[in-house]
């Protein structure tokens, strides 16, 4: 529930005020200075004077301070409201200790006159808690609820948004003069007085109240030491979130240790599967795929819980020797809530709070999430290079019937530089494609293209993709969200352009982590579109190493796929292709390298597959270029092919180089002192020189 601002209430009241027949309102003198302004500003007519609800002041405490506050408010209201034959009780005072009277006041403005504090409001000889008052407000058919009581803003923590729109509450401690001015202004707006006049009245009266209080001649409803009074526009500065609530939430956790070889089965099945998939397999010295053995396991499993507690006022105070009727679920019973600093609230509130007995009621334990954190150690034939130590972190929000957490986020990290790291998450209940990388050494890193601009150069001399027939022109463009190829002319067979960039760091295949592209094909309802687009890696000899492909090679119907291919230097290859998709295509294609296993490919809908063992490829092959190559078939229309992101990471590089993409000159400064020589043919050349910093 949110408390409405003065302006919000001002606008909302005009929508909610009920029309009543036979009501006469008269503008009378508030002061000599304001009398003519009031008549001129409101310009009431007989019909307009009949609009508006009645006002009921519920006086729920009969002490002298509350009596004074009610009289002061009546004097303010009677300055512009008078009774008539048709509506003799336009403003009523109802003395009661039952706040539920408000639930029977249909169409009225209800003003609650009493003392308040952090726990609740004084109602007769006992307190009514703020959560109960929130229920009363939500159930009441009244059009507006205005509270004099200190700390009444705490009611907003319990009600709903709709009831908050018809509330005026007090934040912390506040003099009754100030509160009565605000309440009077709310009533003026509800009865249709001109908003500009109401704002003028409110400002002048608050200024006068401020003067009375600062000069020590104020009569107010509470005893206090200091109140901030410079908040003419809106008085919120004394509010604090540190008060003691009658509703508490307590959290605790239970930790268990999972260890030993038998403990692996105590992990959630999804976590077991991903650990086994990425770390159990290796290729031994002879090139034979082999499974590691689980050597040790040390996982801390933490289950987090919370329970709620509500302070409930006793209907009839129980005998002093009676036990707590609802014992807490944990070790220690809770102490009664703090009623607040007695120097900041009225003695009536403090006395009533002390005389109001109550008890805590506790809700059940609620599971709020579980985490797994620790290490798993696998070993192979005993040599260090086949032993892996994996840091495991996993978490999830729900508890399965077997006591295990249903994990929705998993992070695995092989200790040491160049180790394999895996992260995987669920979105809307479904596992997403994992992100697999290599831990970088000192010279490792990552390169990505977010597709916000084009950093590739058209290269007519670049090799064709295997099986494609002709090189042509075309354009690579970006709309700020994705890259796309367009402008390929008609031709014979498969033909298209190549766009190339040099990587900022060259690296060997053995240091490759992963290479992936997020791609899509859209048909716009045209089945005859035919396209084959690649995002590729090339080596230093401009030989193809990795091809990430999206394609639709059928003219008569929509039939798409993603494919990942690894090429050896001799041109032989192994590939993994997704199933056919008979609608628009969208997905991520990934190739990764595990230095203890080999080359893996992954596409949507298929399990990650080992294409080549590490001993079957040249690990020293130097990766140098990334290229986008797109092909159109004959005169068939191109697809709307999109490349949203390209990502490449590597564990290390012995060939970090400087490469300028010529997008700007910010990396260069003019240097007249930089040395220069002469050409070998003896001709002297003089020119301004620049150097990269």
Tell me the two tokens of residue 600.
């893996």
First to last CA, the chain: 58
- Summarize the confidence of residues 84-95 as an average pLDDT: 74
Q: What angle do CA 423, 455, 666 make, to 5 degrees?
A: 105
Q: What is the DSSP string of 335-361?
A: PPPP---TTTS-HHHHHHHHH--EEEE
Q: What is the pLDDT of residues 176-188, one digit of tens each?
A: 778 888 888 888 8
Does the pLDDT at position 393 exceed 90? yes
Does the pLDDT at position 662 exceed 70? no
Pairing of strands 409-414, 420-427: antiparallel
Does the pLDDT at position 55 exceed 50? yes
Residue with tokens 């957490």: 405
Number of helices (H) and strands (E) in the chain: give both, helices first: 9, 40
Residue 571 gets the label, from left (phi > 0), alpha (psi -120 to 50) or beta, of left
Count of positions (residues) in the chain: 693
CB 303 within 8 A of CB 254: yes
User: Which is higher by pLDDT, 312 or 321?
Assistant: 312
Does the pLDDT at position 546 exceed 50? yes
Find, among 227, 222, 235, the residue nearest to 66 by Cα: 222
Q: What is the pLDDT of residues 143-169, one digit of tens each?
A: 889 998 888 888 877 777 676 667 777
Q: What is the pLDDT of residues 597-616, one digit of tens each?
A: 999 999 999 999 999 999 99
What integer pLDDT is reported at residue 194 of this predicted model? 86
Residue with tokens 């006049």: 197
Convert 391-425 to b/e letters by CB count within 10 Å (16 or more is b): ebbbbbeebeeeebbebbebbbbbeeebbbbbbbe
What integer pLDDT is reported at residue 22 of this predicted model? 25
Find, among 252, 280, 253, 249, the residue nearest to 264 by Cα: 280
3-class DSSP assignment, residue 137: helix
Q: What is the pLDDT of residues 581-593, one digit of tens each?
A: 999 999 999 999 9
The whole-chain average pLDDT of the chain stands at 79
What integer pLDDT is reported at residue 52 of this predicted model? 63
E-only strand ranges, 509-621? 512-522, 531-539, 544-552, 560-567, 573-577, 585-594, 598-602, 609-613
Q: What is the pLDDT of residues 487-542, one digit of tens each?
A: 999 998 999 999 999 998 899 999 999 999 999 998 877 777 888 999 999 999 99
Task: Please give the helix or strand (H or E) that residue 657 lies within, else none.
Answer: none
Hey, which of 34-43, 338-347, 470-479 has the most confident mean pLDDT?
470-479
What integer pLDDT is reported at residue 29 of this predicted model? 22
Q: What is the pTM of this model?
A: 0.63
What integer pLDDT is reported at residue 26 of this predicted model? 25
What integer pLDDT is reported at residue 669 of this predicted model? 59
What integer pLDDT is reported at residue 525 of this predicted model? 76
Tell me the two tokens of residue 510.
């053995």
Q: What is the pLDDT of residues 396-412, one digit of tens each?
A: 999 999 999 999 999 99
Residue 568 gets the label, from left (phi > 0), alpha (psi -120 to 50) or beta, of beta
Q: What is the pLDDT of residues 264-286, one digit of tens each?
A: 999 999 999 999 999 998 888 78
């Amino acid at each position: 529930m949110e408390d409405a601002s003065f302006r919000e209430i001002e606008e909302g009241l005009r929508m909610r005020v009920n029309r009543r027949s036979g009501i006469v309102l008269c503008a009378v003198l508030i002061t000599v200075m304001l009398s003519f302004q009031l008549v001129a500003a409101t310009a009431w007519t007989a019909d307009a004077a009949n609009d508006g609800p009645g006002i009921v002041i519920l006086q729920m405490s009969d002490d002298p301070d509350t009596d004074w506050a009610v009289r002061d408010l009546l004097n303010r209201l009677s300055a512009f409201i008078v009774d008539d034959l048709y509506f003799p009780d336009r403003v009523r005072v109802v003395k009661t200790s039952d706040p539920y009277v408000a639930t029977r006041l249909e169409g009225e403005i209800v003003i609650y006159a009493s003392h308040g504090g952090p726990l609740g409001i004084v109602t007769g000889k006992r307190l009514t808690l703020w959560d109960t008052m929130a229920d009363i407000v939500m159930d009441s058919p009244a059009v507006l609820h205005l509270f004099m009581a200190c700390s009444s803003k705490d009611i907003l923590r319990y009600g709903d948004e709709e009831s908050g729109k018809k509330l005026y509450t007090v934040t912390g401690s506040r003099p009754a003069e100030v509160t009565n001015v605000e309440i009077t202004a709310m009533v003026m707006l509800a009865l249709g007085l001109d908003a500009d006049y109401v704002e003028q009245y409110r400002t002048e009266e608050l200024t006068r109240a401020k003067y009375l209080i600062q000069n020590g001649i104020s009569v107010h409803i509470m005893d206090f030491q200091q109140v901030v009074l410079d908040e003419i526009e809106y008085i919120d500065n004394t509010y604090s979130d540190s008060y003691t609530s009658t509703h508490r939430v307590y959290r605790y956790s239970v930790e268990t240790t999972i260890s030993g070889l038998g403990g692996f089965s105590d992990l959630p099945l999804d976590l077991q599967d991903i650990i086994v998939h990425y770390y159990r397999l290796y290729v031994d010295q002879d090139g034979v795929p082999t499974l590691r053995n689980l050597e040790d396991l040390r996982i801390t499993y933490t289950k987090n819980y919370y329970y709620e507690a509500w302070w409930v006022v006793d209907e009839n105070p129980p005998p002093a020797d009676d036990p707590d009727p609802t014992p807490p679920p944990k070790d220690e019973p809770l102490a009664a809530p703090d009623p607040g600093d007695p120097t900041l609230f009225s003695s009536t509130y403090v006395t009533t709070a002390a005389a109001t007995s109550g008890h805590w009621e506790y809700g059940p334990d609620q599971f709020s999430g579980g985490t797994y954190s620790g290490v798993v150690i696998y070993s192979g034939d005993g040599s260090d290079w086949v032993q892996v130590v994996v840091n495991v972190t996993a978490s999830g929000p729900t508890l399965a019937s077997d006591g295990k957490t249903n994990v929705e986020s998993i992070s695995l990290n092989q200790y040491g530089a160049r180790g394999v790291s895996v992260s995987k998450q669920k979105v809307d209940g479904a596992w997403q494609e994992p992100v697999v990388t290599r831990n970088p050494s000192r010279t490792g890193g990552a390169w990505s293209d977010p597709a916000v601009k084009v950093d590739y150069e058209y290269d007519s001399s670049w090799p064709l993709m295997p099986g494609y027939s002709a090189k042509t022109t075309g354009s690579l463009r970006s709309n700020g969200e994705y890259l796309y190829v367009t402008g390929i002319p008609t031709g014979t067979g498969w033909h298209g352009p190549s766009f190339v960039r040099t990587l900022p760091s060259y690296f060997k295949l053995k240091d490759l982590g992963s290479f992936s592209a997020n791609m899509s094909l859209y048909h716009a309802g045209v089945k005859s579109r035919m396209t084959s687009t690649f995002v590729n890696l090339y080596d230093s000899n401009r030989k193809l190493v990795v091809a990430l492909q999206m394609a639709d090679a059928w003219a008569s119907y929509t039939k798409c796929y993603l494919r990942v291919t690894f090429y050896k230097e001799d041109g032989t290859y192994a590939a993994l292709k997704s199933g056919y998709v008979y609608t628009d295509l969208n997905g991520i294609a990934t190739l990764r390298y595990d230095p203890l296993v080999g080359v893996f490919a992954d596409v949507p809908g298929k399990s990650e597959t080992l294409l080549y063992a590490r001993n079957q490829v040249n690990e020293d092959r130097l990766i140098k270029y990334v290229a986008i190559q797109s092909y159109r078939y004959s005169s068939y229309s191109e697809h709307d092919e999109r490349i949203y992101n390209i990502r490449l990471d590597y564990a290390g590089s012995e060939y970090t180089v400087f490469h300028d993409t010529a997008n700007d000159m910010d990396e260069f400064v003019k240097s007249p002192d930089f040395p220069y020589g002469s050409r070998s043919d003896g001709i002297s050349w003089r020119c301004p020189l620049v150097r990269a910093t």
